């Protein structure tokens, strides 16, 4: 089986690795591998703290992926000798004032209604868990099984693991999908050369709708949703685990890494393909982070960057075959592509290799957006 994957973000990279493990001859096409959202993302693995009303199937997918992460990271380390920065030390969510605490109470009722264990903490208990928190923090919730990974370590590890199994990386832009006898037959590159394949997976993040030759009805309804993040550095331990907060109604998170990096995120902006970092974005992030953790102003500033989440109409990924035989989608992972990489790769590789598809992935078929037959 020859498979071409357009896009080497975490979704394309992880699927290439899994498909190669299944015996496929895989080619990845990307002019700049892991240069999209996967290079900006904070790497939270927080399906419980991210829970949103009406997104229960996405919660189940997120939990399934989070529960695979430990083994996934260990398998990658074993295959490549590379560390992904995976941590499973829980996520603390804290409230800044009584209105924010009410938001957390509602979330807790919703989480408990779904049978998900979370631990309510008083303000004092929050500060015991994270001593650098502001004295005024009112209370919080601990999701003990949520964690984090470093996407800037994960992507090179996935690429190395794939290359060890013969995955070929072509550093070129795909211009379109080659269609023959009403089926996808490969990919056309920007220099008009072609790579022939039995199956094509479109995993180009928010650019997935931009390829030539896609019949109407197969163009994925994805759009870019801009997010800005700030990176700070600390030589001494500052935070023990991912800490999220609601500060006067707006959400903020801080993700610590073992090497002293702290990622603060993230804005959410509908700005098309704009990746400029703005003074306002930087200011809002630092302002809210400082309310929760006043000591951050002492830390070294390292970087501010912006990425484009691949958003879909229902905030959930599109994974599976399209109306064009041989063309598959693996995109639309929006806020959760790092979290969802293990489960998505398993599901997409199974589909591409005609194997059994995990039941948890079934609700995410692109068919849910297919136009009604006239």
Which residues are at the interface with ligand FAD (CB under 6 A)? 6-12, 29-30, 32-38, 40-44, 173-174, 203-205, 207, 227, 229, 265-266, 307, 309-310, 331, 333-339
Rank residues 94 and 229 by Cβ distance to ligand FAD and give the closer one.
229
Min CB(30)–ligand FAD separation in Å: 4
Minimum CB distance to ligand FAD smaller for 62 or for 139: 62
Least distance CB 274 / ligand FAD (angstroms): 12
Enumerate the H helices of the chain as residue ranges.
Answer: 10-21, 56-80, 98-113, 123-129, 151-164, 279-292, 337-352
CA distances 103 to 57, 93, 109, 149, 335, Å, are: 22, 11, 10, 27, 20
Dihedral in degrees, nearest 10, Cα atoms 83, 151, 22, 316: 150
Distance CA 146, CA 121 (A): 16
Nearest distance from residue 118's CB to ligand FAD, in Å? 19
Shortest separation between residue 290's beta carbon and ligand FAD, angstroms: 19
Least separation in angstroms between CB 348 and ligand FAD: 11
Residue closer to ligand FAD by CB (options 12, 139) is 12
242-268 burial, b at 16+ Cβ within 10 Å, e below that, comes to bbbbbbeeebbbbbbbeebbbbbbbbe
The two tokens of residue 174 are 């795909």
Contact 216, 292 (CB under 8 A): no
- Distance from C-alpha of 293 to C-alpha of 24, rounded to nearest angstrom: 49
Of residues 101 and 242, the one with the C-beta less far from ligand FAD? 242
| CB closer to ligand FAD out of 99 and 190 | 190
Closest CB 97 distance from ligand FAD, rounded Å: 25
The smaller minimum CB distance to ligand FAD, of residues 101 and 316, is found at: 316
List 143's β-bridge partners, or say none: 91
| Shortest spacing between CB 225 and ligand FAD, in angstroms | 8
Nearer to ligand FAD, 180 or 190 (CB): 190
Q: Nearest distance from residue 128's CB to ligand FAD, in Å?
A: 25
Element (H, E) at 263: strand 261-265
Cα 331 to Cα 94, 176, 369: the distances in Å are 31, 16, 13
Strand partners, 71: none
Question: How is 164-201 classified by DSSP, letter by letter?
Answer: HTT-EEE-S-EEEEEEETTEEEEEEETTS-EEE-SEEE
Q: For residue 78, what are the CA distances in angstroms to 11, 137, 147, 161, 191?
A: 20, 41, 20, 9, 38
Cβ proximity to ligand FAD: between 101 and 177 the closer is 177
């Amino acid at each position: 089986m020859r498979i071409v994957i357009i896009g080497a973000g975490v979704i394309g990279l992880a699927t290439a690795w899994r498909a190669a493990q299944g015996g496929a001859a895989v080619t990845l096409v990307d002019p700049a591998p892991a240069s999209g959202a996967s290079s900006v993302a904070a790497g939270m693995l927080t399906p419980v703290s991210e829970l949103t009303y009406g997104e229960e199937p996405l919660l189940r997918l997120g939990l399934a992926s989070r529960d695979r992460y430990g083994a996934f990271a260990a398998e990658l380390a074993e295959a490549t000798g590379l560390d992904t920065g995976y941590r499973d030390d829980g996520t603390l969510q804290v409230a800044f004032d009584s209105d924010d605490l009410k938001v957390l109470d509602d979330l807790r009722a919703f989480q408990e209604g779904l049978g998900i264990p979370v631990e309510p903490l008083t303000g004092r208990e929050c500060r015991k868990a994270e001593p650098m928190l502001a004295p005024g923090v009112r209370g919080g919730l601990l999701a003990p099984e949520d964690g984090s990974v470093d996407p800037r370590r994960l992507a090179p590890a996935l690429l190395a693991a794939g290359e060890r199994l013969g995955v070929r990386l072509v550093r070129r832009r795909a211009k379109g999908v080659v269609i023959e006898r009403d089926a996808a037959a490969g990919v056309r590159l920007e220099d008009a050369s072609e790579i022939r394949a039995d199956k094509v997976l479109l995993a180009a993040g928010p650019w997935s709708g931009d390829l030539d030759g896609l019949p109407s009805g197969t163009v994925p309804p994805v759009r870019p949703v801009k997010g800005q993040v700030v990176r700070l550095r600390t030589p001494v331990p500052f935070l023990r685990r991912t800490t999220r907060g609601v500060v006067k109604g707006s959400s903020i998170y801080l993700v610590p890494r073992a090497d002293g990096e702290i990622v603060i995120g993230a804005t959410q902006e509908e700005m098309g393909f704009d990746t400029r970092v703005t003074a306002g974005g930087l200011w809002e992030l630092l302002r809210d982070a400082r309310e929760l953790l006043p000591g951050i102003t002492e830390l070294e500033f390292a970087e501010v960057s912006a990425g484009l989440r691949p958003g879909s109409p229902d905030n959930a990924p599109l994974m599976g075959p399209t109306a064009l035989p041989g063309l598959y989608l693996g995109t639309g992972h929006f806020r959760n592509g790092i979290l969802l990489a293990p489960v998505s790769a398993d599901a997409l590789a199974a589909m591409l290799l005609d194997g059994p598809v995990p039941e948890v992935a079934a609700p995410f078929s692109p068919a849910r957006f297919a136009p009604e037959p006239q």
